[in-house]
Amino acid sequence: MLENLIPSISRQHLHRFPTLTALLRHRALYQPDQIAFIFLQDEETESARLTYRELDQQAQAIAVQLQSIKASGERALLLYPPGLDYIAAFFGCLYANVVAVPAYPPRRNQKMSRLMAIVRDAQATVALTTTSVLTNLKDRFSETPELSSLRWLATDNPSQETLDWQEPKVSSDTLAFLQYTSGSTGIPKGVMVTHGNLLHNSELIYNSFEHTSKSWGLIWLPPYHDMGLIGGVLQPLYGGFPVTFMSPAAFLQKPIRWLKAITRYKATTSGGPNFAYELCVQKITPEQREGLDLSSWQVAFNGAEPIRPDTLDRFAATFEPCGFRREAFYPCYGMAETTLIVTGGLKKAAPIVCSVKKEDIEQNRVVVATPGKDEVRQIVGCGQELSNQVLIVDSESLTRCASGQVGEIWVSGLSVAQGYWNRPVETQKAFNAFLADTGEGPFLRTGDLGFLQDGELFVTGRIKDVIIIRGRNHYPQDIELTVEQSNPALKPSSGAVFTVEVEGKERLVIVQEVERNYLRKLDVNKVVGDIRQAVATEHEQQVYAAVLVKTGSIPKTSSGKIQRHACRAAFLTGSLDVVEDWSENPQSKTKFVHLNAEVDSLLQQLQTSRIQDDMKSIKVER
């Protein structure tokens, strides 16, 4: 029985452990045979399990390998497919005082620009992976000298000899790993996260989610992403409860697998970005819903991207007959720079939705709207500050915003990371902000916009993504939602909206994926006409160009966020996987040759970046 895997131990206040190494050693000593991690190959087959003792032994064995090559203090790239080998390698790095650099192995024929940028930025000297991944990567060493120069260790068959392991001298201030940002608004940066950051944030999650030793986690998020690693791997370790993993691909291919696994393991905590809930509503059939029991699901966290109130409504209505409760939804806010979580709500409370006047929010003012009377925008609250201090600040005057104003979200506290690896200028700008009038600080400037109402944080968008046309602010996610709902041929959560400068004016561009089953029978004129009409009606804006692209081709981060800046760059360089496009200027079409001046500027910026070598092949046909 599953219940027999969880010992009846009292809740422990684990903040007394200075490091994750000490925490795992404690678990291995006092709960050696408790199941810690399970990997589910599909909805039926478990491929691996690890107890705390087994994880401790594997971590020691990997640490011995790292210590034998004197890797202490170095950065080690982690390249693993979904599975438990990654978890053992991560703790193996901690056990050897090696700074882990989580990444993901590239698929065959996949460009490795982001991976190469990480390797160069982190100055990694070691790489840990499995035998099969290493075999596949060796074929590409000739084209990637940075990879071939690394010291490679395959850890899937580690020696059980751990007598030579020497426990490292580390403290709460010791750097544990580099969490590379998603790159949704630029080149990935390595966030420096310490043992102390991780333990403090783990305590925040543990308390706010009201976890106990009786909890059970279910995670499909990739473990090289902060939500998958800290929420999926470290939180169960911190709380002393088991977690079941499945691969992101398994969920994306068949979303029913996620909910079946929750049913099977009686999971209490699981979640993901908003698109995951949307995918379940769209793809899970009434027949598949039969037999689901989601009554055990106590915390359905939702974060990492804008939370749509209509998604919450549809998911709750669809799966309420399966035992799901709307109160289980747990909207939250956080980022890599704050280790993970910043704000969250009450476990047993339903999400808070604020309706504001659309015309006012476009001017950075918050005015509560009257539904049915005013044109409104609904925003889901992301909870209240847990321990970190949260301020709303005017990004120009650097003073606190008055009540009812939208501003930049600033955060301070013990979960705020130490800065960006080898980027002192960017670290100073982002992590060392002070209020101009009071001198209070330092704060982390998140780059996100939002407002506070009765202590609840409402996130409205990212500063870099805000579209300003004729003096009005438009949040791209709002226009993207309008676009995807304008025609059934358009794939949800798979569009990007941005602007380009044409003859001195900012003009609106839409890039949108088409559902695969519509590709052969696509009525382009109808689809583009619906997009233009919807955007004009809902946002009073004219579309300058609309590009329909193939399913799965739009740039996204590992957590599913749309990479609007990468999409804009691909639009300007003509490298989108275009099905059909439309432009107000029909002579421009796909090449958009009248934008060559902006393309030249873009390429010049890229040449000065850390990925310049990988972008040399970009050329614009004139």
Q: pLDDT-based confidence at 104, cuts 50/70/90?
A: confident
> What are the tokens at 573?
């360089």
Q: Are 549 and 512 in contact (CB under 8 A)?
A: yes
Structural contact between residues 59 and 93, judged by C-beta atoms closer than 8 angstroms: no
If one counts every other C-beta atom within 10 angstroms of the C-beta of residue 88, the result is 26
What's the CA gap between 250 and 252, in Å, rounded?
A: 6
Q: What is the pLDDT of residue 140?
A: 83
Of residues 473 and 137, the one with the higher pLDDT is 137
Determine the Cα–Cα distance for residues 287 and 279; give it in Å rounded to an integer: 16
**Chain centre to alpha carbon of residue 583:** 33
Q: What percent of the chain has pLDDT over 90?
A: 67
Q: What stretch of H or E contains 40?
A: strand 35-40
- Report the run of H or E that residue 316 belongs to, with start and end: helix 309-319
Average pLDDT, the chain: 88
Domain boundaries, the chain: 347-463, 467-615
Q: How far apart are CA 465 and CA 417, in angstroms?
A: 24
What number is the average pLDDT over the span 573-588? Answer: 81
Identical fold at 347-463 and 467-615?
no
Q: Does residue 1 carry a pLDDT above 50?
A: no
How many whole angstroms separate alpha carbon 407 and alpha carbon 391?
9
Residue 157 has pLDDT above 50, yes or no: yes
Task: Tell me which DSSP letter residue 192 carries.
Answer: E
Q: In the predicted model, is pLDDT for residue 276 greater than 60?
A: yes
Q: Is there a contact between 244 and 104 (Cβ–Cβ < 8 Å)?
A: no
Structure tokens that stand for 22 in this block: 């000490």
Q: Is the pTM of this model over 0.85?
A: no
Look up the CATH number of domain 467-615: 3.30.300.30
Q: Work out whether strand 299-302 and strand 35-40 pair parallel, antiparallel, or are unpaired.
A: unpaired
| Predicted pLDDT at 5 | 40
DSSP string, 401-431: PPTTB-EEEEEESTTS---BTT-HHHHHHHH
For 517-562, write each residue's pLDDT tens digit.
998 889 999 999 999 999 988 888 899 999 999 999 998 876 677 8
pLDDT at 180 over 80: yes
Q: Is the pLDDT of residue 617 over 60?
A: no
pLDDT reported for residue 14:
47
Measured CA to CA, the distance from residue 340 to residue 198 in angstroms comes to 9
pLDDT band for position 301 (cuts 50, 70, 90): very high
Amino acid making up residue 423: R
Q: Are 125 and 151 in contact (CB under 8 A)?
A: yes
CATH 1.20.1630.10 correct for 347-463: no
With a pLDDT cut of 70, the percent of the chain lying above it is 89
CA dist 528 and 534 (Å) reads: 10
**CA neighbours within 13 Å on the CB side: how many for 609?**
20
* pLDDT grade for 502, boundaries at 50, 70 and 90: confident
